[in-house]
Amino acid sequence: MRMKRWLASFLTVMLLALPLAGCAADPKPQAANSPAAANDGGSGKVVNIDFWGGWTGPDLNTMEGLVNKFNQEQSDIHVEFTSLQWTPLFTKFLTEMKGGNPPDVLVMHPFELGQFVEMGVLDSAPIPGVGMETGNYSSFAWGGTFYKGEQYAVPLDVHMHGLYYNKDLYNEAGITNPPLTGEELIAIAQKLTIDNKGKRADEEGFDENNIVQYGLGFSMNHHVFYQIYALLNQQGHNPFTEDMTAVELDEDKMANAIAFLQDLVFKYKVVPKGEKSPVDDFMGGKVAMFVDGPWQMPKLEESNIQWASSPYPKVFDNSAAWGAAEILTFPLKKNNDPDKAKAAVEFVKWLDSNSGEWAKSGQLPSSNVGMQTAQSMEGREAFINSLDSSVLLPSHPKAAQIFSSTAPSPILTAAQDAILNNKDPHEIAKQLKKDMDSLLQE
């Protein structure tokens, strides 16, 4: 009787519960381009290849447009494009890899490269066939395609933190130039932080409990850590390397970086605590400046806001901003079909030479030619100018864990302890080192 009751509970739960081994969120992939529509009247044999990326915002439309253009321009290769969120994308990639049917071209970020190379799922052999030359790319983008000295990818685009500002609000406050240093950032943000009686944050009688407009906004998630990373580099310290087995962290420098950001929120009150969506607050006129990446530009271009951008301010000794990139890789195929392999290289070459179009997505093309197109577009220049001082996170094999953007993640804990919980900066630095070392030693 007792066994029966437990069995009944087991079956009830099994009927209702998610399967143990399959609860990954699996958003419907965005697939585009049916072969029939794309290829009529070609040379005969059409080689179909799969191209996967993780775009879900306005950049998805731009990439779909590029793939459609490629499919229409020629009739020998047909690209089937699939895009879904990065995490399920990589789970799907590994599952398909196990099943022997990975995509022919896969997009990822440089910091993920080491992990996938160590898993043995990426092929460096097709890279020479693309015919890239170092001088045609920004060194920042080029560096992100290597792991342990070997090139595994073709650079597609780069992005980094910059500062967006509302030109109308600048004019109202009599501000003529965006901040270049930490002091200037604080001073300008104070001028732009206003209470419900019109008092500014640097004025006597300012009511910090009734702020209607903040001077500055930024995402209070893992991007806080990216700012800390930039501020560490501004002090000439980068504790993260692709072969680290422990983090050699200068706790004082980390504490300096954290303290600067904490002061913006808790001392000067120029940043809304717990901010969720700076771009929306900016477009709603609730924050006058915000720190974010170039991917926000298509959204801003559609708004009525008069905006401009400037490089991430130099708070310490050197200029540095967090940067990242998107790179095109070739998954390793067990049953290599030479036609598909050739077609994949052809498609990547085409994307590389047409990367100027990709600038419409807000991302900055990695190639110099593509970058020139971006340069002529509004708002891009500030980001392009900070290219040389942008810093990538290393492609450590455990980067996905160490630099994960979701809990439980050392960087998210550090970021939120700093900016939401206002914890002691030295304690946060110690905890970050401890959490990262523990993951590295697993």
Binding region for other proteins (CB under 8 A): 5-6, 8-10, 12-25, 87-88, 91, 94-95, 97-98, 119-121, 210-211, 214, 220-221, 272-277, 281, 284, 286, 400-401, 404-408, 412-413, 416-417, 420-421
Instruction: In angstroms, give the least distance from the CB of 299 to other proteins.
Output: 16
The span from the CA of 53 to the CA of 109, in Å, is 11
* Radius of gyration of the chain measured on its C-alpha atoms: 24
Strand partners, 328: 107, 154
Instruction: In angstroms, give the least distance from the CB of 23 to other proteins.
Output: 6
Instruction: In angstroms, give the least distance from the CB of 305 to other proteins.
Output: 16
Q: Where are the extended beta strands (E) located within 168-224?
A: 194-195, 211-218
What DSSP letter does each residue of 58-69 carry, written as one string?
HHHHHHHHHHHH
Instruction: In angstroms, give the least distance from the CB of 316 to other proteins.
Output: 27
- CB nearer to other proteins: pick between 69 and 273: 273
Nearest to 264 by CA among 318, 218, 207: 218
- CB nearer to other proteins: pick between 254 and 400: 400
Instruction: In angstroms, give the least distance from the CB of 275 to other proteins.
Output: 7
What DSSP letter does each residue of 381-399 carry, written as one string?
HHHHHTGGGEEPPP--TTH
The span from the CA of 224 to the CA of 209, in Å, is 24
- CB nearer to other proteins: pick between 42 and 284: 284
- CB nearer to other proteins: pick between 257 and 400: 400
**Residue 215, SS3?**
strand
The span from the CA of 177 to the CA of 267, in Å, is 24
The span from the CA of 401 to the CA of 407, in Å, is 10
Which tokens go with 81? Answer: 């494009």
- CB nearer to other proteins: pick between 215 and 370: 215
- CB nearer to other proteins: pick between 69 and 98: 98
Strand partners, 122: 331
Instruction: In angstroms, give the least distance from the CB of 18 to other proteins.
Output: 6
The span from the CA of 387 to the CA of 87, in Å, is 27
DSSP 248: -
Strand partners, 218: 291
- CB nearer to other proteins: pick between 23 and 36: 23
Instruction: In angstroms, give the least distance from the CB of 17 to other proteins.
Output: 6
- CB nearer to other proteins: pick between 158 and 400: 400
Nearest to 123 by CA among 286, 356, 328: 328
Pairing of strands 30-32, 77-83: antiparallel
Instruction: In angstroms, give the least distance from the CB of 170 to other proteins.
Output: 21
